[in-house]
Amino acid sequence: DAMVIQNPRYQVTQFGKPVTLSCSQTLNHNVMYWYQQKSSQAPKLLFHYYDKDFNNEADTPDNFQSRRPNTSFCFLDIRSPGLGDAAMYLCATSRGTSTDTQYFGPGTRLTVL
């Protein structure tokens, strides 16, 4: 029973062509996160939503945007993908309490041609 679902699992886009990645969760968690993970590296947090409050990491490029229309869904929009944006994009969720655990989705592997 998947709890954090990411679609698509693999996405190919062209240089400069906008792309949207999708994440949904069945856990009713308050917090949703987007991470970028490049090969052989740890996940890097891009931003997160605590309910509707958006929190951007200071070093996240403007090229990356996010939307959370409701509790269950969160989207990652890459406005003009560059070759350096090819990576695995991971969505995660948590309740947002003081003792907490983040649960990750399976990821979307983005290829930029």
Q: Which of residues 60-89 bind other proteins (CB under 8 A)?
A: none
Residue at 111: amino acid letter: T
26 binds other proteins (CB under 8 A): no
41 binds other proteins (CB under 8 A): yes
94 binds other proteins (CB under 8 A): yes
Cα 101 to chain center, whole Å? 17
Q: What is the DSSP letter of 59?
A: T
50 binds other proteins (CB under 8 A): yes
Tokens read off for 35: 């991470």
101 binds other proteins (CB under 8 A): yes
Tokens read off for 18: 């906008």
In the set 65, 75, 106, 111, which binds other proteins (CB under 8 A)?
106
